Amino acid sequence: MENNSNTSEKWRHWITCQLCVDIVVWLCAAVPVLILFLFITPYDRGFFCDDVTLSYPYKPDTVSASHLVLGGFSISVAVVVVVEILRSVDCNRKKSAQVRDNISYCIKGYGVFLVGFVIEQFVVQVFKKQMGVLRPNFFDVCKPDFNRSFCPGYITNYTCSGDVKEIQDSRQSFPSGHASFSMYVAVFYCIYIQNRLEIKFSVILKFFLQAGLICLSAVCGFTRITDHFHHPTDVAAGFLLGVTIAIFVYNMIGKKVLKTDSCDNSAYMQNLLLMAKSRDYYYSEAQTPLSQTPLPLLKNDFLNMGFEKTPTTPLLPLNSPFNVRRPVSMPIEPLKLLEEV
């Protein structure tokens, strides 16, 4: 009992240490994302004064950044809750140990999701700050003041007369952060549903859950085009980035951390029967008495050759030394055998 308690205590210490290290690593990766978002200014890019793609009017957000983050995390929690409820109903599991395992699985799954979220935001912020692509509403937000005599040419010397924060934001069009984050959430939890949810009472429920996530992400991305905040290529790049990071994170980390046990009761009962049979066989072999009479020895056709004439006895030459009649107990010396040959 003491050895078991010591082992379990060491295991708990190891899990706690591993969790602390992972949290520290996650914070170290999240701090650069926060610095990029708050303190780094985007690249100051020029423009063509007759560029029609930058002359769209400014419109307020249909889905603001705060609403996007709040909605994305709320949807992720709702998906996990719905999946676990449907799984528990279908599997009919009510034991406390199984409930603890389900809660542990959900926590680990959300941890993997947060790792991918940090990676997605880091890539998005690096592209936004380094490329400085102008939004479609740049002229309306910036209201640039420049020498009109250089038109139609590329203008680099200009000053903006609008709000400073809005001007900086108008230089961060590529890629679309809304499209990237929404598609990352959708694809990540589509894979989560595919691997976690096993139900027998419906064939299309899983599909409609996954399709609903993709449709919400697509609507969120398309509103960025209609609101004149992104070019279509920005939204397409954001979608592609979200899909890539979701698949990459789930394959690299999720497969190692998130291992789902099957809730098939028939398979579970078959495993129990196989374990019971193997146990009974082991005990029957271990309890066999040593004084038990062994099985009769098989007949040695090689040594009895010449004494028994059976149809199965192979025909040998008459001068073969194997046809010489000898008692069974008499050994055949190798040298004499060679001399006779």
Q: Are residues 195 and 257 in contact, defined by beta-carbon separation less than 8 angstroms?
A: no
Cβ–Cβ < 8 Å for 53, 136: yes
User: Which residues, other chains included, contact 176 with Cβ-Cβ below 8 Å and sequence gap of 6+?
Assistant: 221, 224, 229, 230, 234, 235, 237, 238
Structure tokens that stand for 175 in this block: 């890629």
The rounded distance, in Å, linking the Cα atoms of 216 and 182 is 8
Taking the alpha carbons of 204, 206, 209, 214 in that order, is the dihedral positive or negative? negative
Angle (deg, nearest 10), helices 232-249 and 177-196:
30
CB 88 within 8 A of CB 102: yes
Which residues are bridge partners to 56 per DSSP?
none
Helix (H, G, I), strand (E, B) or coil at 133: coil
Helical packing angle, 205-226 and 177-196, nearest 10°: 180
Query: Catalytic: 178?
Result: yes
Cα separation of 266 and 257, whole Å? 26
User: Which of 13, 178, 228, 231 is an active site residue?
Assistant: 178
Asked whether the CA dihedral 114, 117, 122, 123 is positive or negative, the reply is: positive
Look up 228 and say whether it is catalytic: no
**Which element (helix H / strand E) includes 47?**
strand 47-48
- The one catalytic residue in 13, 67, 230, 231 is 230
Catalytic residue IDs: 178, 230
